[in-house]
Amino acid sequence: MATDSLHRAWRVHNALPGAIPRLDTVATPACGPGEVRVRVRAFAISFVDLLLIEGGYQWKPPTPFVPGSEFSGVVEACGAGDTHGLHVGDPVCGVRQGAWAETLALPATAVHKLSATAMQRAGADWDTEASALMAPGATALYALRERAQLRPSENLLVLGAAGAVGHAAVQVGKALGARVIAAASSPDKRAAAMAAGADVAVDSSSGAWKDEVKSLCGEPGVGVVFDPVGGDATDTAFRTLGWNGRHLVVGFTSGTIHALKTNLAIVKGASLIGVDYRQAAARDSSVTRQVQADVLRLHAQGLVRPRIQEVLAPAQLAQAFAQVRRRETLGRVVIRLAP
């Protein structure tokens, strides 16, 4: 375990297919002015993490680097100056690149204290739930509310609705008052989307799902498409949009970037909107901090909660990678450092 001057962090030394981060002993980060140091209790693993580790993500940090961005933990030290109401012992969660470590030193504005209501709702598993909450929840809320300006009663089509960010988009869409249509490729995934609150689920592996969605929506069509999938699904989903529809490009879990026929945007008066929450946070932290605060509020109300598939020990990191890589899970895989 970490000492006063050393701690352990998982680092990528060669970003190549099949790479597994190495557990290295490194200097414990100092806690500067306006910063807090967090003892990490749990971190979640996402498909984006795998892409980054294997060199397949659009952002390629120099090696060695500490991967991961989602964490929960407890404040163990506060730096001088304003730490925005955080104190030693506070349970927190956040999104910060380099989260796969025993301790993190980061600006107090980058973490959020969990409310007593949220702690009570999550119970003894608060750390695993909190570690998997913020990145998907904030991405979904930022995309739907800030970028697409989703309106109550609009039809929202969520692709990849059983994935981490798709699951969050279903819940956020309902919280914003939309009618949510979930697209997923298997019965168990569609059942998971319905359990998350979707109004209806369609089989995205069927050749007729575009017509099914258009029939469900009628004349207004789909108001907003939430698309973390890419590939052929992008073209199909874009064709379900009604007049002035908005198509949110969130990711490409299919591994394919589709070439969309841009005349479709003219015919529908539609907008193609890119969503990169990482860049948004770097460029305007005031917006994303408010988004994260609102995710915590929705979580405390029970409206947005991550689905946890499995909680593993640090020694099982390779097993966790294999599960996420094969996309076998219907929920998040979390590594728990705390006993």
**Fold held by 6-133+306-336:** Quinone Oxidoreductase; Chain A, domain 1 (3.90.180)
Question: Do 41 and 337 form a contact (C-beta atoms < 8 A)?
Answer: yes
How much is the pLDDT for 4? 60
Residues forming a β-bridge with 306: none
* Residue 275 structure tokens: 């969503």
**Mean predicted confidence (pLDDT) in 269-283:** 92
Residues forming a β-bridge with 75: 38
Q: Roughly what angle, to the nearest 10 degrees, separates helices 134-141 and 164-175?
A: 50
Q: Give the separation between CA 174 and CA 154, rounded to whole angstroms.
A: 10
Q: What is the DSSP string of 36-56?
A: EEEEEEEEEE-HHHHHHHTT-
- Give me the residue spans of the domains in the chain: 6-133+306-336, 136-278
Quote the percentage of the chain above a pLDDT of 70: 98
CA 118 to chain centre: 19
Burial classification of residue 244, based on how many CB atoms lie within 10 Å of its CB (0-12 exposed, 13-18 middle, 19 or more buried): exposed
Q: Give pLDDT tens digits for 194-222.
A: 999 999 999 999 999 999 999 999 999 99
Q: Give pLDDT tens digits for 123-157.
A: 889 999 999 999 999 999 999 999 999 999 999 99
More confident of the two residues 280 and 146: 146
Answer whether CATH 3.40.50.720 is correct for domain 136-278. Answer: yes
Single-letter residue type at 18 = G
Residue 328 pLDDT class (50, 70, 90 cuts): low
Strand pairing category for 308-312 and 200-203: unpaired
Q: Give pLDDT tens digits for 52-85.
A: 999 988 889 999 999 999 999 999 999 999 999 9
Q: Out of 12-16, 29-33, 279-283, which region has the weakest mean confidence (pLDDT)?
A: 279-283
Q: Give the separation between CA 71 and CA 328, rounded to whole angstroms.
A: 22
**Mean predicted confidence (pLDDT) in 290-308:** 95
Residue 325 pLDDT class (50, 70, 90 cuts): confident
